[in-house]
Amino acid sequence: MKITIEQQEAFVDERVCIKVSGLAPNSRLRADMKMELPWCSGEEFSSYAVFEVNDTGEVDFDQAEPVEGTYRAADSMGLIYSLRKSKPAGKNIAENISIENPILMNLLLETSSEQKEIQLVRNFKAKNLMIKPIIDSFTGRLFYQENSCDKTILMLGGSDGQMEGLALIAGPLASRGFNVLIVPYFGAEGLPEKLEEVHLEYFEKIFRWLAGNEITKAKEIYLHGISKGGELALLLASYYPQIKKVAAVEPHAYCFQALDGLMSGKDVSSWSCQGKSIPFIKVDNNIFFEDQKKAIREGMPFGFASTYIKSIERAGNKEEARIKIENSEADILLICGENDNIWNSYDACTDIVQVLKRHNYKHSVRLLSYESMGHPMPVPFVIPISFTLEMPMNGGIFTSGGTVEGNAKGQYDSFQETIKFFKNRYER
């Protein structure tokens, strides 16, 4: 058995190519993958595939469809994107996240007469990447290299408020030569405790710091926003002309009610400016509970998307609450899944494109939408998709939308396109 692997050691977002030769023609080859996240030992994920060996005694994982396994497409990454939890240890994989150590994946290849094991090394960052804690008029972490380019990306996370998880994206992105700054915008000292009436003026401090810092010296600001952070990125771009590029991943076109308000009934916006709530669409939480009960009765998965769709339909202030992205001076990259079940980001992104066309927007606008993608995290091949795609809730199944294969494809393609977007200045 001869194993050929391209990118045996690579960044976490990169593809590997696996070929096995020297096998008995028309026999079978079994491949088993096992993985633990480096900050969460004991929580084991595994996958497998069984292949028919061809007449020449070879199996090319990019050409051969498994006859059995955790995935069915001809794809060397299938073993990685189809990983499922196989040995729980009672740990929370969202805690103690660290990108200092790589993900190690053990691949066992076995026939009726022999077996071989090989290890894949999946790095979160380049060896010379530095991570500097920032304690100034704000707190955050700066990812950079000595020879980084002069392009600085401010990364804004979603509604979970977890800054640690952003490192999983910032590391691979900064390793391509950018400066990447991650910051909290609520749930930290000096900031709103919850995602309600976050002051846009807070970001002015960050913009000034980026312009004056000896590492970044940022003359222009680039934003990368995820989900609720995508809503924020587009909103900031509509207010601040120094923002020149925005990659908005699974964003929305409107400002919405503070998320805590869904439970407490607090009637304020997620965002504020000059001491006032920015106009917003109210989100009726009763819609979610009604749709959830109906889905459970019918044995169907449920999510939040229908709640947002119906809340928008009922709103009498849509134009007032709409983010005036046509006022932006930025190139814009919109990324969404057509099956997003957290909220209807595909509808939002298509609406944004139409609005900008009507206003003869003079900067670059590109929409990347993926038919079978839902609402995954933006970097591929890190947190197994099966772990976040569906989860038990109140006697039913909550889903973020899409399929395992569709989310994997969308994650990979959109992350590579995001790197290109920030590297290359589009014609204006």
Q: For residue 350, which phi and psi values (nearest 5 degrees)? A: -65, -35
Q: Which of 13, 17, 122 is nearest to 63 (CA)?
A: 17
- Classify residue 220 by burial, with Cβ atoms within 10 Å: 0-12, 13-18, 19+: middle
Q: Which of 83, 106, 136, 109 is nearest to 8 (CA)?
A: 106
pTM beyond cutoff 0.85: yes
Q: Which of 48, 109, 100 is nearest to 79 (CA)?
A: 48
| Amino acid making up residue 109 | L
Query: Residue 103 contacts by C-beta under 8 Å, 6 or more apart in sequence?
Result: 12, 35, 37, 38, 121, 122, 124, 382
d(CA 425, CA 364): 9
Sign for the pseudo-dihedral over CA of 308, 311, 317, 319:
positive
The one-character DSSP state at 342 is S
Q: b/e string for 273-308 if b means 16 or more Cβ within 10 A?
A: eeeebbebbbbbbebbeebbeebbeeeebbbbbbbb
- Where would I find the beta strands (DSSP E) of 227-289? 243-249, 271-273, 276-277
d(CA 39, CA 424): 34
Q: Find out whether 269 and 244 touch, Cβ atoms under 8 Å.
A: no
In angstroms, what CA-CA distances link 63 with 17, 112, 408? 10, 22, 18
**Residue 428 confidence (pLDDT):** 37
**Residue 427 confidence (pLDDT):** 39
- Per-residue pLDDT tens, the chain, 428 aa: give them: 999 999 999 999 999 999 999 999 999 999 999 999 999 999 999 999 999 999 999 999 999 999 999 999 999 999 999 999 999 888 888 889 999 999 999 999 999 999 999 999 999 999 999 999 999 999 999 999 987 777 899 999 998 877 889 999 999 999 999 999 999 999 898 899 889 999 999 999 999 999 998 888 888 899 999 999 999 999 999 999 999 999 999 999 999 998 764 455 578 999 999 999 999 999 988 898 899 999 999 999 999 999 999 999 999 999 999 999 999 999 999 999 999 999 999 999 999 999 999 999 999 999 999 999 999 999 999 999 998 899 998 899 999 999 999 999 999 999 999 999 999 844 33
Contacts by 229-232, CB closer than 8 A, 24 or more apart: 229/155, 229/156, 229/157, 229/158, 229/185, 230/156, 230/345, 231/255, 231/256, 231/270, 231/323, 232/156, 232/185, 232/198, 232/270, 232/271
d(CA 284, CA 391): 23
**Residue 424 confidence (pLDDT):** 80
